Structure 1
Amino acid sequence: MFQSVTSFVALFAIFIATGHTCPSIINRAEWGARPALSTTTLTKNPAPYVVIHHSDTPSCLTFTACKQRLQNIQEHHMSVNGWEDIGYNFVIGSEGTVFEGRGWGLKGSHAKPYNARSIGICLMGKLQDNNPTAAQLMALESLIECGVEKGKITTGYRLIGHRQATKTACPGDKMFRILKNMPNFEPKPR
């Protein structure tokens, strides 16, 4: 775990300087996703916003546990919320695995009114009182940079927390404090 945001930023700078920006992404088939009922492309592509969430569920510390948690989240989103698929574009397990949710270029169901113009990324865990893991933070930064590199996220993207779009505690106080110190954080989104 990073002792401070400063140590995380310094480590991330080293990570990016080595040219390792695109993480391995576990695709939908690999984690056992149900088929989406429908898909809609983003109205703004590449996405000008990245919206960060937390799952508000216990951390998952193994690939198998994270995969099961992700299946449960998708089931809840589709069967209880009535959405056409999992709400997020990507989900990052507590151990740092990046899972494809809806994927690049598709409208999510995660943060009105930003769904059609953002990439929604959820970090698994209860990040109200717990810090995200170092592996999650590295994967998050790597995924965002990968999106920029691939032309899926605009170069001058705006980074926001879910609470800035909707009345909610998401992505949790601990994660939101870190988010405010990350590159491209937008204190007053439009």
Structure 2
Amino acid sequence: MSAHSALLTWALLAFLGLGLGVPGEDLPHPCCLVVPRREWNAPASKCAEKLKLPVRYVVVSHTAGSPCDSPASCLKQVQNVHNYHAGTLNWCDVGYNFLIGEDGLVYEGRGWDTKGDHTGMTWNPISIGISFMGNYMERSPPPRALRAAQSLLACGVAQGKLSPRYEVKGHRDVQQTLSPGDQLYEIIRTWPHYHE
């Protein structure tokens, strides 16, 4: 089965709630539908610095690039982001801990345990970076993408990766940037854990 077919099958099973991964494999917490790195063909990470868990802050950004609305297009988009971060910027891996696709799936970047490169020297060691794939200056992510992000955060708390009192910040709250875009920023400001 090709990687593309495997991802589509995985996405369909996840959507239908029929399971994740391969029988007998250690799975992530059952509430969390995260496409693991191996499913989007991520190279081995060269990152070593760990986060101190549970993390108190979550920084939400957007990639400001092309959106994706299917598992196939999101697979390509997360690979593009990785190639830019690791290849062009020479980072140890994709900068974000997780990426959210308009297909309603969460794509594992550095994951819960590894420090990201998403918000600068002050915030990277104390936060999880979640980036929505696309540009949200003039349009909002679809509801399924927003639900995926909120589910991820709930799972982070359930797994002990996020503090139950975690705070959500917009990228622009902690750095001089337009990210996460005007439309997405207005949405996350309504989330119960948002703090400016």
CA contact (8 A) 1:47 1:105 kept: no
Out of 100, 103, 121, the position equivalent to 1:92 is 100
Residue 79 (str. 1) matches residue 87 (str. 2) = yes
CA–CA distance in 2 between the matches of 1:28 and 1:162?
24
Q: Which residue of 1 aligns with 2:26?
A: none
Q: Structure 1, unaligned stretches of length 5 or more?
A: 1-20
Q: Offset at 1:58?
A: 2.1
Task: State the identity as a percent.
Answer: 37
Residue 153 (str. 1) matches residue 153 (str. 2) = no
Q: How does 1:42-61 map to 2 (within 5 A)?
A: 42=51, 44-61=52-69
What letter matches 2:46 in structure 1? Answer: L
CA–CA distance in 2 between the matches of 1:22 and 1:89?
18
Q: For this pair of structures, how many residues does the alignment match?
A: 167
Out of 64, 68, 80, the position equivalent to 2:76 is 68
Q: Which residue of 2 aligns with 1:165?
A: 174
Q: Which residue of 2 aligns with 1:126?
A: 135
Q: Offset at 1:125?
A: 1.2
What letter matches 2:186 in structure 1? Answer: R
Q: Which residue of 2 aligns with 1:14?
A: none
Q: Offset at 1:22?
A: 2.1
Q: What's the Cα RMSD here?
A: 1.4
Q: Which contiguous aligned blocks of 4+ residues in structure 1 show a shift greater than 2 angstroms?
A: none
Q: Which residue of 2 aligns with 1:26?
A: 35
Q: Structure 2, unaligned stretches of length 5 or more?
A: 1-29
TM-score, length basis structure 2:
0.82
Show CA shifts across 1:19-45 (max 9, x none): xx8231111011111211222101x31
Q: Offset at 1:124?
A: 1.0
Secondary structure (helix, strand or coil) at the match of 2:125 reads: helix
TM-score, length basis structure 1:
0.85
What letter matches 1:36 in structure 2? Answer: S
CA contact (8 A) 1:87 1:108 kept: yes
